[in-house]
Structure 1
Amino acid sequence: MQIRSFQLSDYRSVAELLEEVLSEECCEETMGAFARQLSWDSELVLVAESAGSIAGVLIGTIDKQKGYVYRIAVYEQYRGQGVGRALVASMSSRFRQRKVQKMLIAVDKHNEYLRPFYESLGVGSSDFAHLTQPLSIVAG
């Protein structure tokens, strides 16, 4: 498995992944944030690739010296294989390279169920940022 920056040729595969893994409402919100992040800084959209296929994606952003993990999605057949863990570790590394002072996990009604996953990575309760509005309004 390889973690790398999103490339334009990945767009269709990533869109299909998001449509399959996320609820319809979550996918709609995520696609908007995904497009905005690509226009701001595509280096903060990471994909996990396995045998030439997209296995997962992580969308991050930076706002005022804080790095946010906005959305993570992994195909079901790749779950439990360290794909999500590798995506988060790679984003954390990118944030450190950019002198981000704090990494936060953006939590909303769509990904609250992932809290145990993030906690298993050592994320503490103070590292969760509860979004009351879509990320596109918070960051930029």
Structure 2
Amino acid sequence: MSRIRQFRWDDYDLVTDVWRQAGAEVITRAELEAKLERDPELFLVADAEDAIAGVVMGTYDGRRGWIFRLAVHPAYRRQGLATRLVAELEDRLRALGCPRINLLVLPDNDAGLRFWQSLGYLPCPDVLCTKPLTTP
């Protein structure tokens, strides 16, 4: 059984492998450094012996929690790891006083939407807007 724990830098290569295997974009070290300065306790991995079986990243801005990058390596799927990762992240957000958690699911991700709904997350008709910023 995998153990859920906080991300460590020596996990980075294994975590990027999970993201790649799951078809997710890999977060660069520089982006991750900035995230870990804010709330490192909200970046969790499922540690399976000499591998990382799953990963989830959360953040809390003082008003809302967000879940990003939930991924489970294909070799470890259908074992409840995603549910355990989300439950641990929810517990940590709850302990910080977080009143609500948001996440994004791509419109064509039917399996993802079913998974999140099975955990009590409800679709909202909000429109996502985004703007990439360049650094000076």
* 1:35-114 alignment, distance < 5 Å: 35-108=33-106, 113-114=111-112
Contact persistence 2:46–2:54 (CA under 8 A): yes
Q: Which runs of 5+ in 1 are unaligned?
A: none
Count of aligned pairs? 131
Cα distance in 2, alignment partners of residues 76 and 95 from structure 1? 27
Amino acid at match of 1:9: D
Larger Rg: 2
- Map Cα deviations across residues 84-125 of structure 1 (whole Å, 9 max, x no partner): 000000000000000001111233468675111111112222
- Map Cα deviations across residues 49-95 of structure 1 (whole Å, 9 max, x no partner): 12232000001111242111112010111111000000000000000
Q: Which has the higher helix share?
A: 1
3-state SS, counterpart of residue 123 of structure 1: coil
Residue 27 of structure 1 and its aligned partner are, at CA, apart by 0.8
Q: Which runs of 5+ in 2 are unaligned?
A: none
1:132 is aligned to 129
1:115 is aligned to 113
- Calculate percent identity across the aligned residue pairs: 31
Going from structure 1 to structure 2, the CA distance change for 1:69 and 1:54 (only over 3 Å counts) comes to same
TM-score of the aligned structures, taking structure 1 as reference length: 0.78
Cα distance in 2, alignment partners of residues 110 and 75 from structure 1? 20
Going from structure 1 to structure 2, the CA distance change for 1:110 and 1:10 (only over 3 Å counts) comes to farther
Residue 129 of structure 1 and its aligned partner are, at CA, apart by 6.7
Going from structure 1 to structure 2, the CA distance change for 1:99 and 1:56 (only over 3 Å counts) comes to same
Going from structure 1 to structure 2, the CA distance change for 1:42 and 1:65 (only over 3 Å counts) comes to same
Tell me if 1:3 matches 2:1: no
Q: Provide the aligned C-alpha RMSD in A.
A: 2.7
1:19 is aligned to 20
Q: Which has the higher strand share?
A: 1
Cα distance in 2, alignment partners of residues 46 and 27 from structure 1? 17
